[in-house]
Homo-oligomer: A and B are copies of this chain.
Amino acid sequence: MEKSTTQFTIQLKSKIKPTEDREKVIKAIKNIFTDAEITIPETDKIYITVEGEAKNIERFKELIRSQAILDTARSVLEKGSKGNYTKFKINKQAAYSEVVNFDKDIHGGIYVKIICSDEDKLINAIKDIAPRTKYGKIINEDEEEKKE
A24 at the interface (CB under 8 A from B): yes
Contact with B along A3-26 (1 / 0, CB 8 A): 000000000000001111100110
**Bound Cα distance from A25 to B24, whole angstroms:** 14
Q: Which of A18, A19, A20 has the most CB of B within 10 A?
A: A19
- Count of interface residues, chain A, beta-carbon cutoff 8 Å: 16
A79 at the interface (CB under 8 A from B): no
Can you list 14 A-B pairs with a CB-CB distance of less than 8 A?
A: A17-B107, A18-B24, A18-B96, A18-B97, A19-B21, A19-B25, A19-B28, A19-B92, A19-B107, A20-B24, A21-B24, A46-B96, A47-B93, A106-B107
